[in-house]
Amino acid sequence: MAVGVEEEVKSLVNFLGLPAYKVTTHGDLKVPQLQTSNGRTLMGLATISKFLAKSSASNGAKLLGTSPEEHAEIAQWLEYRVTVVDRSVEKKDVQAMLKELNSYLLDKVYFLGFHLSLADLVIYHGLHPVMCQLNFYEKQQYQNVSRWFDQVQHYPGVQQHLPKVVFVRNSLYTSFDH
């Protein structure tokens, strides 16, 4: 079940404990737009996500990182979401993306190491439809992505309306053909 970008933004608003915003999409590409309380319109998932995180008194600062390097890494992963994850439609593109993410997450709990960030939230929502389509064998092939995804979906307040993706704790298959 693919979730629209409007629902994704609303989920982020709920996760951050913010009041409801008017969220719509613009144009054929369904670019999200959000109307702020003072009437301004913000467009684009990365822009809206950063605005919402900065607007949250409770979680926002932690989600945006604590150093210039972490700020840059988060910006990098927000860009990755819209340029790679959202555009990976063909099976070969999805496999290449999952292989790349699997390698990156080899020694990490979350995208920035050991704490949940805005990068994790937006990548999680972008990968949710992909992970729903994978069978157990495919999930096992991308075990680092699967471990990370399961960790994020169980983080309090993240999953919300999304269906839970089921993972097997024990290896079902002993060898992989990569």
Kindly report, residue by residue over 89-116, the tens digit of the pLDDT: 999 999 999 999 999 999 999 999 899 9
For 120-139, the pLDDT digits (tens) are 999 999 999 999 999 999 99
Mean pLDDT over the full length of the chain:
92
| DSSP bridge partners of 33 | 24, 43
pLDDT at 150 over 90: yes
- Among the residue ranges 20-29, 89-98, 150-159, the one predicted with the least confidence is 20-29
Q: So what's the pLDDT on residue 131?
A: 98
Q: So what's the pLDDT on residue 106?
A: 97
Q: How far apart are CA 33 and CA 47, in angstroms?
A: 9
Average pLDDT over residues 1-23: 87
Q: How far apart are CA 43 and CA 27, in angstroms?
A: 11
Is 123:85 a contact under the CB 8 Å cutoff? yes
Average pLDDT over residues 67-89: 96
Q: Which of 98, 86, 72, 74 is nearest to 31 (CA)?
A: 86
Is 10:48 a contact under the CB 8 Å cutoff? no
pLDDT at 1 over 70: no
Helix axes 45-55, 118-133, angle to 10 degrees: 130
CATH number among 1.20.1050.10, 1.25.10.10, 2.40.50.100, 3.40.50.720, domain 5-153: 1.20.1050.10
Q: So what's the pLDDT on residue 145?
A: 98
Residue whose structure tokens are 């979906």: 153
Q: How far apart are CA 121 and CA 85, in angstroms?
A: 13
Is 60:53 a contact under the CB 8 Å cutoff? yes
Split at pLDDT 50, 70, 90, the class of 3 is low
pLDDT at 30 over 90: no
Per this entry, what is the length of the chain?
178
Q: So what's the pLDDT on residue 61?
A: 79
Domain boundaries, the chain: 5-153
Is 28:42 a contact under the CB 8 Å cutoff? no
Q: Within a 13 Å sphere around the CA of 35, how many CA atoms are in the beta-carbon half?
A: 7
Split at pLDDT 50, 70, 90, the class of 28 is confident
Q: So what's the pLDDT on residue 169?
A: 72
For the chain, what percent of residues have pLDDT higher than 90? 84
Is 124:145 a contact under the CB 8 Å cutoff? no
Q: So what's the pLDDT on residue 130?
A: 98
